[in-house]
Amino acid sequence: MATRQKPPKPGTVTRGRDIPEIVEYNKPSFWKYFWIILLAGIILFTLGYGVWRLMGGSFKPQPVGDCADAAKRGVVLDPVTANPTDFTAQLKYADFEYGCREFAGSITNYSKAVQVAGQPNATISKADRLKAQLGLGFSYFYNQNTKEAQTELKKYLDEEPDNTLALYVYGYALKADDPAKAIEQWQKVIKLAPSGDNLAVQSQKAIDETKTK
């Protein structure tokens, strides 16, 4: 079974109203491919706004051209090269890689940022530390490292248990290994999210699909 997924941007907002459904399918026919491609286009448009909302209105996904532009990459990479222990520089570069869907790279740099933030003498704010932690969990998930995603998202949720987006993705990270526990996460989303919230709707669909398998 394959899963088409578009990652949300890491952040600390507790609601993810505009995150669309994770769509699963089996050996699609030509027309199913057509609808999948069409749906992917809708998802890309929707997530542009969803990501922006998730980051408090300050973040926009990296334009494709920026990802291939050495000069623009250098703007965020050079500070990391100059000072590998600079938390802010590591976080910015990890965000850039995440926005470019370079998850192996974002895993490396979110990990470094988390390590720096965890030092005894670190002065990193809790919000920034948790942003790096959540980015690490999401990066592992979208890089198909579900075991690692479970570990890192659990660490985040231990401190921010009401983040519905984190709970939603955590559920999918658990789905193959522990369907019952995955359902628990989606049930939490439904309980926490406002009535009619898109993330709650998608969580209920995930529950229904998991129970029928």
Helix axis angle, 164-174 relative to 146-159, nearest 10°? 150
Alpha-carbon separation of residue 7 from 13, 23, 80, 208 (angstroms):
15, 13, 24, 22
Residue by residue, what is the 3-state secondary structure of 159-183?
HCCCCHHHHHHHHHHHCCCCHHHHH
Q: How far apart are CA 146 and CA 123, in angstroms?
A: 31
Q: Is 42 exposed, middle or buried (0-12, 13-18, 19+ CB in 10 A)?
A: exposed
- Cα 178 to the center of its chain, rounded Å: 20
Look at the block and give the residue holding tokens 């990652």.
7
- Tell me the DSSP string of 122-173: ----HHHHHHHHHHHHHHHHHTT-HHHHHHHHHHHHHH-TT-HHHHHHHHHH
**pLDDT for 186:** 96
Q: How far apart are CA 20 and CA 108, in angstroms?
A: 27
pLDDT per position as a tens digit, 167-198: 999 999 999 999 999 999 999 999 999 888 88
pLDDT band at 66 (very low <50, low <70, confident <90, very high): confident
The model's pTM: 0.73
pLDDT per position as a tens digit, 31-57: 666 666 666 555 544 444 444 344 333
- Mean pLDDT computed over 91-96: 93
CATH number at 2-211: 1.25.40.10
Sign of CA dihedral 140, 102, 30, 37: positive
- Mean pLDDT computed over 5-23: 47
